[in-house]
Every structure is written in structure tokens, then in C-alpha cells.
Amino acid sequence: MAGLWTGAAALAAAGRRGRWWPHPLIRSVALWTVKHDPHHSRLYLVASRTLCSAGYDSSENTFDKILIANRGEIACRVIKTCKKMGIKTVAIHSDVDASSVHVKMADEAVCVGPAPTSKSYLNMDAIMDAVRSTGAQAVHPGYGFLSENKEFAKRLAAEDVIFIGPDTHAIQAMGDKIESKLLAKKAKVNTIPGFDGVVKDADEAVRIAREIGYPVMIKASAGGGGKGMRIAWDDEETRDGFRFSSQEAASSFGDDRLLIEKFIDNPRHIEIQVLGDKHGNALWLNERECSIQRRNQKVVEEAPSIFLDSETRIAMGEQAVALAKAVNYSSAGTVEFLVDSKKNFYFLEMNTRLQVEHPITECITGLDLVQEMIRVAKGYPLRHKQADIPINGWAVECRVYAEDPYKSFGLPSIGRLSQYEEPIRLPGVRVDSGIQPGSDISIYYDPMISKLITYGSDRTEALKRMEDALDNYVIRGVTHNIALLREVIINSRFIEGDINTKFLSDVYPDGFKGHQLTETERNQFLAVASSLFVASQLRAQHFQDHGNSRVPIVKPQVASWELSVKLHDEIHAVVASSRGPTFSVEVDGSKLNVTSTWNLASPLLSVNVDGTQRTIQCLSREAGGNMSIQFLGTVYKVRILTKLAAELNNFMLEKAAEDTSSVLRSPMPGVVVAISVKPGDLVAEGQEICVIEAMKMQNSMTAGKTGKVKSVHCKAGDTVGEGDLLVELE
């Protein structure tokens, strides 16, 4: 099960009786409950520690069958609620997704085309055929793909199929950033200064940017998710931003229109969850802090925000509801704001769909937003009033991606998950995912592996649980961003709440380098690594002793092991001795005791170092002494040799490092969009050589030095892998 969910049947009946509901899925957390207040004649959410709860009234008529027009974790997320509501589900999939988790979870599945999204998950004709052939009464679009496509909603309505989302008017009005900004002004919502029309070309973009004043944000009129967004600080960056943003917008949304607005420097990104019905009711469900971002895409979110006071929260919530009511909004949606250091807030955009980060709102309110969307789509009024909505506890979400965080805070990685274990056995942990061991992370879709959510009674508890969950998350086969996520949540600035949308670049101006070990942590790591090495040697001796060798093996009597451990180009002298499960280790003069079960077959190993408990992962052990160990979230490579082996190793020749200054290799898998040079061209350092598109993001590849192009090894349209040679310089 990808996450811990609790619920109860017969919400209304139980609410009338004022009962508390036990549930077989509960482990170490209590269940949310709903009580009836006879003085107010309505249901109240009574909060207790949990990850999410909702009442499912089996007598409430909704839909018999829903088609989910999406894939991956969000499709799985919708299917879970549908199952609890007694609704049958239909999954759609591309040919490469035929064995995906969401396909297996659904009651029915229909292939809608080949891998490219334009031919499958964006293929409206094929999806409409799937709706007809399965008899689905409604469609839930998830997020991304067709979730904010008014034409898709219109086509469904024309065939009397319910679109589980707002009506086409709201999608049109709020999905277009230009129109939504005008409507926001009319609804008296604070807005960012900028140009309210469509930018025609790069020259006009420069003129407008100069009038507004740098810096400016160039952004796609349609869509969201950080696609088609660029910050420009001068005319040259405006021209480049116009080109890349329009290309990304066309690729992601089929709409290359752009707008320009003033960029608010050092802002927080705080959004308000709203929920409306078809009867004129609308609620705001508190805020989410989403300021930790890379390339305008969120990485870590939390609810509530540590920054907002009650007065600002209410003002933002009321403006969000005013905007929703201005377009008769009926579904779950999100109004995003930029908030400056003085708590001034400005409307950014409205997402007319379910947000990726919706689980943290569910954790602190007890509402199941997918269930609410389904009820609203069926025509039911909201069950709660604004006074009913609590803020109970704290929730944090980390987006776990198949990305290399050491490259621009996360360039995509692809591969097959050879081993995969979610940390759902820990208290207060929920994982929303759509993968399993053996799943492929491909270049065709978003590289998200999962959404890791932790809940606690307060922020400190939620963050500690997140730290433990990240340490206990096993992901093998692809590069992932666990190290970056863990560093963010333990960073002193983050803990103090001193964050903004430039947090990553401010904290890591030279790029992310992984966890920097203190002297104490370094000694702990060296002690653990040495203990692992000795434990593996002792196990090997144990196997030899029980073998059927025709030649007797004399067991060496080793009282202690003298080792040479290389970490970060530094050699450390280590002496280790064992007493049962405990190793006594001397590292550079410091003595430590390391205790564990030493189950070397387990992907997770809990070790105690002088009373400090750590969860580590040994990713690899080689006969030559090389080991890769995940410690405090970061993977460290060490080489451990016995004293004799280290002395002999000094006679080995060092392998010369490759000179990479004259070659350009692809830093990620992707598709070549454009080549800007040809053999014989002179290029300057930093000049664009080509553009690679990966997971719908355009990435400009530049020359590492000044020189003449010797050869070009790719052309527009080619698919390239990480490390593939693109261009050589003389």
C-alpha cells in the first residue's frame, strides 16, 4: 500500500450518532472524527493525530464508474478514493505504461497510444473513445495533461460525461494568466504589476521589460508547473527567455503565448487551497508554503506556513474565495500568491485542478479532496462551513524525483528501479506513488518517483519524521534527490523559517555538494564503514569455514584489524576489533563503539554509534575495498584496505583523468531540440551549442571554453543519453 489512509463508512449516520470510528488500517496514529453539534446542526471536523481521514457515506449516490485521464501517482491516488467510495475505475495508459501500477489498480484499463504524451495522454480522440467503450460516467483528469484543457471538458459535456473539475468558463478564465489577472483585479485581489496582453515577439518583450523595470518574469499564458517560465535581468536574458519560454509552452501546453510581469525579488510562494460547489458555496482550506523550488518547480512544501499570522492568512483566504466566486468556481482549486518580507501578498495564478501538494492540506484539515471533487461534480453541496475547517498539526511534503541533485539541483535521471521500499512502516508517514520494484523511469514523463509526506503534532515533529523517512527510503536503479531533500529540511535557515523562492541558490551558490560532514560525523561515518568492512570479512570467513573445500582452511586469529580508509582524497588510519555485535573502532585517535545486527543482506541497517542511532544504506561493496554508503542522506564513496594491501597499493599507477574541456556531453537523457553550431565555427566560452529537452524542460548546453568546432555528433530530433558526446572542439 502506497500510503496510510483512514476513513469511515456512513459518515452522515455516524455523525448523527456522534460516534468515534475505529478502523483496521490504524497503526500508531489516531483517527480523525466527525462530531455532531446539536446547537449548530452541522458536522464539525474534530482533529486528532492522523495522516488523512474522510467519511465515506455508502448510501450517498455518486458515480458507478470514473475514468482517470492521467497516469502515475495521481492516477493511483484518485483510484484509492474511488475504491473507498465504491466507484469502479478505468485507467488509460500508453503502450510503455501497460504494466504500470495505476493500470493494475484500476478495474479496467485502455491503451490510448504510444509513449509520447501528444499521442497518448494528450490524445483527446483516443481518450474519448475509451470513455465511450467503457461507459464511464465521469472523468477525473488529475493534474497536468488535460486537467486544465477547456476543449476536453467541452467534449465530455457534449456526450453527457461529467468532468470532475470546474466548468469550462472557470478553466478558461483562470487557466489563462492574462485573463485571470484582469479578473483578479476586478475581484479586488492584490496583483503584481505587469503587462496584461500577449507578448508578440522578442523585440516587444524587451520593450515591455524595460517599461516594467528589471527584473521581470516571462511566463506562459497557459499551463503551470514551472514550465515556460524564465527570469530576465537584462535585454539579452529577455530575448533568450522569450525563445525558451515560448518553446517550452508550446511543447507542454500546445500554446506558446507569453506574458511579462514584475519579478518580486526574494518572495515566498504561498498558496491557498479553495473548494467550491455548484450552489454558490466556497471555502478556503488554509495555506501551503511552497517556497523551496528549483527552476520554478516546487521541491519541499509544508502546511501551514510558519510565516503567516492569523490576520494575513484570513486576508489571503478571503481574497482567494472572492476570486473563486467571481468565476463561479466549483471544485478543488488553488490560488497562488507571492508574499514579500512584509507580508504583502500578490496574486500569481489560479490552478483549476488538484495540486501535486494537496496531501499536506488533507493532513491538517482531515478532508479528502478527491472525494470532495467527486461529490461536487455530482452536484452535492459542500458538507462544511468555513468555521469547521481546522489547522491541526503540521505536514511536510518532499517531492522525491529521479534526478541528480548535484547537477543544477536536479537534472533528470532514467533507469529501472532494481530495488524499492517506501518507509510507510514509520509513524506519521504517507507515500503517494505510482511505481513498484521493476518500474521504469523514462524520458517520456515527469521524473517524480513519489510524494513523501510526514505529519506531526507540530513542525518539529513533522520535520523529524521526514528526516527519518528519508533515511529509511530505499531507491536503487536511478539517481534520486534524497540527499538534497534531507539537507533542506535540516538546514538552519529552513528550520527557522527564513526561506524564499531563491533558497537553494542562496544556500548553495556553487551548487549542491551533498552533506558536509562535521568532524564528529566524519569519525562516526569512518567507524561505521570500517565496521561494515570487517563484518563482511568475518562473514566471508564464516562461509569458507562451512564450505566443502578439500584443502583445510586455517582460520586466521585476528584480534584487531589495521585499516587504511580513503574518504575525499584523505587517508585515515583505523583500528577495529569486534566483540559480538559491537565493534570498537579507533579513528584518528578517537575511540567509538558501533553496534548493529550486521545483517548485510538488508538494504537498511540501523547502527548505534556511541549512543547515537543512525540508519544507513550500503549501496555497494567491492572486492577491491570500494564501498558506497548512504549516510545522513548523502552517498559517500570510500576505499577500505588492510594495512598490507594499502602499502602494496602505493605501487599501483594512477589512472589519468580525461580532459573534458574540449568535449560537450549531454548531462541528462533527452531529445536534441536544436543545434546552434556546425564544424568550423568559432565559439566563445559560455556560447550556446545546442538545446536539450528533458521531461518537457528546455536546457541550453554551452561551450566550456573558446575554440573551433571540430565535429558535431548529433542533430535535431536525436534522443541522447546521459554522457553521450554531442560536440567536440579543436
Question: What is residue 314's three-state secondary structure?
Answer: helix
On the question of a cis peptide bond just before residue 304, with omega within 30 degrees of 0, the verdict is yes
For residue 514, which amino acid is it? G
**What DSSP state is assigned to residue 351?**
E
CA–chain centroid gap for 346, Å, is: 25
Rounded CA separation 569/563 (Å) = 16
**Do 727 and 712 meet the contact criterion of CB atoms below 8 Å apart?**
yes
Cell of 250: 508550446
CB 230, CB 216: distance < 8 Å: no
Strands 55-56 and 42-46: unpaired
Contacts (Cβ under 8 Å, ≥6 apart) of 351: 143, 148, 174, 224, 333, 334, 336
SS3 33: strand
Place of cell 548535484: 406
> What's the rounded Cα separation, in Å, for the pair 572 and 553?
31
**Contact in structure between 430 and 359 (CB atoms under 8 Å):** yes
Virtual CA dihedral for 155, 161, 165, 171, nearest 10 degrees? 20
Pairing of strands 282-294, 605-609: unpaired
DSSP 148-214: T-HHHHHHHHHTT-EESS--HHHHHHHHSHHHHHHHHHHTT--B--B--S---SHHHHHHHHHHH-S
User: Of 605, 606, 559, 607, which is closest to residue 579 (Cα–Cα)?
Assistant: 559
Grid cell, residue 319, equals 481574497
HEC secondary structure over 251-279: HHHCCCCEEEEECCCCCEEEEEEEEECCC
Q: Residues with Cβ < 8 Å from 665, sequence gap 6 or more?
A: 723, 724, 725, 726
In the set 73, 261, 271, 349, the catalytic residue is 349
Count of other CB atoms within 10 angstroms of residue 203: 13
Residue given cell 478514493 in the structure block: 81
Which positions ≥6 away from 26 have C-beta within 8 Å? 6
The answer to whether 152 and 124 have CB atoms below 8 angstroms apart is: yes
654 part of the active site? no
703 beta partners: none
Nearest to 399 by CA among 468, 462, 452, 454: 452
By annotation, the residues acting in catalysis are 349
